[in-house]
Amino acid sequence: MLRPVSMQLDDIPIPPVVRGQIAQWHAAIQAFHDRWDRELIEMFVASDYELVYQALCWITRNNEAVGRHFCEWGCGFGCVASLASSLGWDAIGIEAEQPLIDEAHFWVDRWGHPVQLVRADFLPRGAARLAEDYSFPSLGHEQLPNAYDVIDLEVDDFALVFAYPWPGEDQFFEAVFDRYGQRDGLLLLFRGPNDLVLKRKVR
């Protein structure tokens, strides 16, 4: 089962360099959405990177995690994985869309963050059966390699997994992590404005 973890984020400062990076990401993401010469990726929506950064800082400073392996499910531009890497996590970002993984490589290289990026399906094999709605955007990537074959790791190798689920998918993601995540592992979900939840897998 997953148990909520209460976080105190108000007093965690965001360094100017991080704010600068986040501002550039937001500008680049807006420009990406404004492109008219390619198909829009409707499922790509940016998180509140400032809030997520504060949560990553809180988890790191309070030694809440049982390790330093971090995974971002659906990494988009690789922003959260980059933020985790900047805080000392061994970060991996998994993304299904080729244009997004191309952007992620650009920004990871630009900032010099050692993030491993993989174009693949982030759901472990068999996870789809846990979904109550088979129209969820995270389903339907079976044509891609399974990420855990590519990286030679499993979900339970990660101390912390982050995701921004589409509305209604949060319970599905929790069920996947509850089934496949490591005991004492952490799942961090951004569910919308000012809605960030952290849960720990317990016995």
Q: Three-state SS across 117-184?
A: EEECECCCCCHHHHCCCCCCCCCCCCCCCEHHHHHCCCHHHCCEEEECCCCCCHHHHHHHHHHHCCCC
Average pLDDT over residues 95-102: 95
Q: What is the pLDDT of residue 203?
A: 77
Summarised one tens digit per residue, pLDDT across range 24-77 is 999 999 998 887 666 666 668 889 999 999 999 999 999 999 999 999 999 999
- Domains plus CATH for the chain? 2-201 (3.40.50.150)
Average pLDDT over residues 17-26: 96
Using alpha carbons, select from 127, 122, 134 the residue that is nearest to residue 95.
Answer: 122
Q: What is the pLDDT of residue 39?
A: 66
Longest dimension (CA), the chain: 50
Q: What is the pLDDT of residue 173?
A: 97
Summarised one tens digit per residue, pLDDT across range 127-174 is 999 998 888 889 888 799 999 999 999 999 999 999 999 888 999 999
Q: What is the pLDDT of residue 120?
A: 97
Q: What is the pLDDT of residue 135?
A: 82
Distance CA 173, CA 198 (A): 12
pTM listed for this prediction? 0.95
Q: To the nearest whole number, what is the mean pLDDT of the chain? A: 94
User: Where does the pLDDT of residue 201 fall: very low under 50, low under 70, confident under 90, or very high at 90 and above?
Assistant: very high
Summarised one tens digit per residue, pLDDT across range 83-93 is 999 999 999 99
Residues recorded for the chain: 203
Q: Residue 36 has which token pair?
A: 């008219």
